[in-house]
């Protein structure tokens, strides 16, 4: 086995580990958001996530869970571990892409062959001639999601600044003033290519996938079926191959940023947990205030379920999809 093929095989091992970690993180997100409601299903999911999680129960996004530190602990373990695997897997890709650039720098033209399975995975419509263009679409969409991740962190910081004001409230009027300020804060929508009504969509991505965002329910979706394909080939010049591998390196680099995003979110929820503890001390001392206002304050302190969905449910799906895509492209060139 030559060095390039050995690097590819080693990278595949780390790829499999990352896929499993992403799968567990996605399932954990479903548990926490109440999408898995049956007791048997719930126990089956938790059994794959470690013994320490079995006693936690669903509904971790409550002020009580923040105070006890359970929410911070579970995410520190799940997101931290997945982020470390992500760095290792995408570092493997870095090395292999550089090796392929060197390898294909020789010769003027290269015939790149695609099996029907690979072509269905690597193109939007099963057309080999659109391979490079579809990679551009993927890169552009990942850049849109990266921007959304930054916008979301800014939004969460603003929400925390508002929630901190609950530490100084003394009356029902004070409570409602903070709650009203929070309700005026708008959840940021991802800047996807197309918006119609309450739904934003990406362009069709390789593998026939489309990313969607529902502006009403704040749900993130990734749907679509692989296109039909009979396989094919394209002839690329040395510069064409270099361009494709350069774009693939950018796709790979976009996902290395996810580790930073995970770390930033973990830092946020740790700070949020400490903030909730201090606020709860004040709320517990309040007397003769509206129960309705207190309930709304508790909901505010519970956190942002849509952000949870983005970081622990949707992002792992996108990472697994893109990781599979990168390995599909690498497999064509190796």
Over 50: is that where the pLDDT of 21 sits?
Answer: yes
Summarize pLDDT for 244-260 with one digit per residue, the tens.
999 999 998 887 788 88
Count: domains in the chain: 1
DSSP per-residue codes, 138-160: HHHHHHHHHHHHHHHHHHHHHHH
- What's the CA gap between 41 and 22, in Å, rounded? 18
DSSP per-residue codes, 214-253: ETTTTEEEEE--PPP---EEEEEEHHHHHHHHHHHHHHHH
Over 70: is that where the pLDDT of 11 sits?
Answer: no
Out of 80-89, 160-169, 323-332, least confident range? 80-89
Burial of 174 from C-beta contacts in 10 A (0-12 / 13-18 / 19+):
middle
Predicted local confidence at residue 72, as pLDDT: 67
Over 60: is that where the pLDDT of 68 sits?
Answer: no
6 versus 116: which is more confidently predicted? 116
Task: Give the confidence band of 188 by pLDDT, cuts at 50, 70, 90.
Answer: very high
Summarize pLDDT for 204-244 with one digit per residue, the tens.
999 999 999 999 999 999 999 999 988 888 898 989 999 99
Stretch 170-174: mean pLDDT = 94
Predicted local confidence at residue 249, as pLDDT: 93
Contact 328, 27 (CB under 8 A): no
Task: Give the confidence band of 86 by pLDDT, cuts at 50, 70, 90.
Answer: confident
Range of the domain at 74: 3-333
Q: How far apart are the first and last CA of the chain?
A: 11
Q: Average pLDDT of the chain?
A: 83
Over 70: is that where the pLDDT of 78 sits?
Answer: yes
The residues, any chain, with a CB within 8 Å of residue 180's CB and separated by 6 or more, are none
Predicted local confidence at residue 62, as pLDDT: 59
Summarize pLDDT for 122-166 with one digit per residue, the tens.
999 999 999 999 999 999 999 999 999 999 999 999 999 999 999
Stretch 69-75: mean pLDDT = 66
DSSP assignment letter at 212? E
Summarize pLDDT for 42-61 with one digit per residue, the tens.
455 555 545 444 444 444 55
- What's the CA gap between 320 and 99, in Å, rounded? 23
Burial of 202 from C-beta contacts in 10 A (0-12 / 13-18 / 19+):
buried
Question: Could you give the percent of the chain with pLDDT greater than 90?
Answer: 42
Q: What is the pTM of this model?
A: 0.84
What sign does the dihedral 318-193-139-252 (CA atoms) show? negative
Neighbours of 171 (CB within 10 A): 13
Predicted local confidence at residue 319, as pLDDT: 87
């Amino acid at each position: 086995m030559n060095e390039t093929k050995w690097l590819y095989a080693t990278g595949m091992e780390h790829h499999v580990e990352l896929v499993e970690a992403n799968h567990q993180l996605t399932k954990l997100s479903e548990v926490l958001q109440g999408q898995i409601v049956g007791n048997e299903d719930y126990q089956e999911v938790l059994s794959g996530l470690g013994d320490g999680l079995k006693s936690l129960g669903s509904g971790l996004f409550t002020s009580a869970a923040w105070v006890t530190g359970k929410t911070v602990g579970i995410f520190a373990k799940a997101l931290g571990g997945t982020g470390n695997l992500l760095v290792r897997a995408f570092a493997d890709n870095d090395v292999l892409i550089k090796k392929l650039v060197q390898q294909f720098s020789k010769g003027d033209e290269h015939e790149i062959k695609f099996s029907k399975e690979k072509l269905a995975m690597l193109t939007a419509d099963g057309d080999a001639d659109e391979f490079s263009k579809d990679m551009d679409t993927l890169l552009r969409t990942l850049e849109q999601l990266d921007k959304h991740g930054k916008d979301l962190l800014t939004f969460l910081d603003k929400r925390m600044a508002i929630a901190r004001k609950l530490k100084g409230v003394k009356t029902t009027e004070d409570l409602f003033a903070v709650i009203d300020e929070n309700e005026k804060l708008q959840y940021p929508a991802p800047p996807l290519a197309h918006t119609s009504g309450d739904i934003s969509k990406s362009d069709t991505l390789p593998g026939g996938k489309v990313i969607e965002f529902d502006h009403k329910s704040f749900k993130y979706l990734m749907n679509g079926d692989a296109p039909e394909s009979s396989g094919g080939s394209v002839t690329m010049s040395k510069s064409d191959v270099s361009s494709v591998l350069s774009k693939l390196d950018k796709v790979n680099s976009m996902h290395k940023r996810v580790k930073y995003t995970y770390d930033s979110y973990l830092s946020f929820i740790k700070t949020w947990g400490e903030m909730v503890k201090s606020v709860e001390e004040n709320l517990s001392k309040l007397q003769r205030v509206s129960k309705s206002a207190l309930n709304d304050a508790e909901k505010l302190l519970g956190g942002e379920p849509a952000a949870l969905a983005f970081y622990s449910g949707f992002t792992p799906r996108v990472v697994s999809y893109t990781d599979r895509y990168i390995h599909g492209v690498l497999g064509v060139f190796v």
